[in-house]
Amino acid sequence: MSTSSQEKSKVISNISGAEAVIRCLLEEGVETLYGYPGGAIMPIYDELYKFQDILHHVLTRHEQGATHAAQGYARTSGKVGVAMATSGPGATNLVTGIADAQIDSTPMVCITGQVASHLLGSDAFQETDIIGISTPVTKWNYQITKASEIPEIMARAFYIARSGRPGPVLIDITKDAQFEHFDFGYKKCTGIRSYQPYPILDQVKVDEAIALINQAKKPFIVWGQGVILGQAESEFKTFVEISGIPAAWTILGLSALPTDHPSNRGMVGMHGNYAPNLLTNECDLLIAIGMRFDDRVTGDLNTYAKQAKIIHLELDPAEVNKNVTADITLLADCKISLQRLNEKITPKSYPEWIQRFDELDAIEYKKVIHHDLHPTKPGLTMGETIEMINRFSKGNAVIVTDVGQHQMVACRYAKFNQSKSNVTSGGLGTMGFALPAAIGAKMGAPEREVVAVIGDGGYQMTIQELGTIFQQRLAVKIVVLNNDFLGMVRQWQQLFFDKRYASTEMVNPDFVKIAEGYYIQAKRINQRDELENAVKEMIASDQPYFLEVCVEKEDNVFPMIPSGASVSAIRLE
């Protein structure tokens, strides 16, 4: 394997493969990792014990929790998250988090133990083919059977995970390779032949894009997480301010531009805002930046933005013309693409076009937002709960959401002043994501307030991670919006299945007692006059805090685009 490298570290004679793994992590600047021990990875854990003063291992309560925690850590810190597990069920329990990281482009290195190499393929105790299982959901994976392979493979793993479009890498290490001794030296990987993570931008295409932008009458920007991953927030803000073009976000792009920025027109997609969804099919130029035209954003591809010219700023060639054919593609890191565009675009304003957004915003406010934030019914709404969190967090908190109605409401109404503030499961839609992800998010940004907003269904999928919060003494704030339903599925059943609520009503435990069992301060509220003081107390606490908010059982999230329908078919009720 040919790998260009920086200066090699000092050779350490005759160390075990297990110790080499730990030294590789230290060479890559890893300070925190998440995992769960077991037989096939025990040699690595034994070596980890010797380095515990400089390498902090977080014992999660389930291997899936380790991957989600590593994701949360990566999303707020911008570093590579690291998770470890043993072979067999330990390794397979990582797969959901790995798949989530793959589709959401989260840099992560997972290390799994494996049975001894002479037992491979024999159905030995706790043997699974984790390489075969994880191949479809990793950016790269590799099985190590010789200790001497460890330094180069680990260096490659971190380089591949963080470079280009980030993603998860899995390294499986047989037990005999962990015990085997060799002379250790480490070289950071800085390039791999045939792997080109950063395409070279075509200046001719840039000039063509500038010409289209300068002549557009009704241009519209949709941006995604590529802006955040490319650390292009400043360039993007400059672009929207010079161009004067209204912009909307996918849920993973949320927080790249401050919520109250005048060019920020809200969210696109199934439960996005009325104006940006409708006007996608009225604009004459659609500029897609760091987004992949997911089906939840586009709806029916046969009717999506057919009237518009399309410019796509994208890093990953696999996403180009995959779902939507672009007229011009700027294939490069969007930080570079935006810098080039900013040099030549003409400052403009679009008063009539902006007025069209304002008119549709007013309709949405009257029919949806006012009900969500200023309800007349006695029951609490999810929207007013998020609004109360905004009041006391002042837009400076990291909001971690699970998947469901609460996720859509939080994305719609949460206020953000800085990037890397919205942590959620986007493409895979993993229930159970939020609680462990909030652990990692807090450890990745310990100076920031971290609030996990979770539904009563998803919360119970990883509720055991309350033990990790308690053991690590993390001041994570947990808000469960409890409607005693799997709310998003129930909404679909109400609207499209004649209210046949099949297997969606929840009979829930006493969440407050469970939290208190983990020595976490807890409170339950169900009256509007209790909400302000409860949220104020939660945000003011310097300890972990659990708040259960009992909300309307059958409240729905609108606007809504029916699955597979055109974005123009968006419903307000």
Catalytic residue list: 63, 125-126, 175, 488
Distances (CA, A) of 53 to 26, 44, 48: 12, 16, 10
Please choose, from the candidates 431, 335, 439, the residue with its C-alpha nearest in 3D space to the C-alpha of residue 76.
Answer: 439
Who's near 272: CB < 8 A, 6+ residues apart?
A: 248, 266, 412, 559, 561
Phi and psi at 170, nearest 5°, equal -120, 130
Please, what is the Cα angle at 398 between 198 and 427, to 5 degrees?
50
The residue written with tokens 């515990």 in the block is: 52
Alpha helices in 281-430 (DSSP H): 295-298, 334-344, 351-364, 370-373, 382-393, 405-413
Who's near 153: CB < 8 A, 6+ residues apart?
A: 142, 144, 171
Please choose, from the candidates 406, 415, 394, the residue with its C-alpha nearest in 3D space to the C-alpha of residue 255.
Answer: 415
What SS3 state is found at 310? strand
378 vs 376: CA distance, rounded Å: 6
Phi and psi at 31, nearest 5°, equal -115, -25
Cβ atoms of 274 and 267 closer than 8 Å = no
421 vs 152: CA distance, rounded Å: 34
Phi and psi at 171, nearest 5°, equal -120, 120
49 vs 248: CA distance, rounded Å: 48
Indicate the DSSP class of residue 380.
B
Who's near 158: CB < 8 A, 6+ residues apart?
A: 28, 80, 109, 169, 188, 189
41 vs 143: CA distance, rounded Å: 14
Cβ atoms of 360 and 568 closer than 8 Å = no
3-state secondary structure 47-100: HHHHCCCCCEEEECCCHHHHHHHHHHHHHHHCCCEEEEECCCHHHHCCHHHHHH
Tokens of 187: 């070289």
